[in-house]
A = this chain, B = another copy of it.
Amino acid sequence: MGLIDYFRSAAGPNKGSASVAKERLRILVAHDRAARDRPFYLPKLQEEIVAVIRKYVAVDNDAVSVNYEQEDSQEILEVNIVLPESPP
């Protein structure tokens, strides 16, 4: 299963209709290092990515959840943002 198919299936059963309960952004960044002496930098990158997103849509601080994992030669950053509902 390709990554895009994974994301599409992870969107849940009502993906097909506009009745998706919440508007949201899911961001995933994986850094595969070629050597152990290469720096990890995703935690710093994360703040700047959220700052870029704020140029396009309002983002409440408490609507951002971050998950960061680091293991051997790989670091993975996952940012989930629940976006504010459109004004009535």
**Interface of A toward B, CB cutoff 8 Å:** 3-4, 6-8, 10-11, 15-18, 20-38, 41, 44-45, 48-49, 52-53, 55-57, 67, 69, 71-74, 76, 78, 83, 85-86
Contact = CB atoms under 8 A, between A and B. Distances in A.
B45 A21 contact: no
Given A25-B32, A26-B32, 10 more contacts: A4-B69, A15-B73, A18-B33, A18-B34, A23-B34, A24-B31, A27-B27, A27-B28, A44-B56, A52-B52
A83 B32 CA distance: 10
Copies in the complex: 2
Contact of A7 (B25, B26, B27, B30): B30
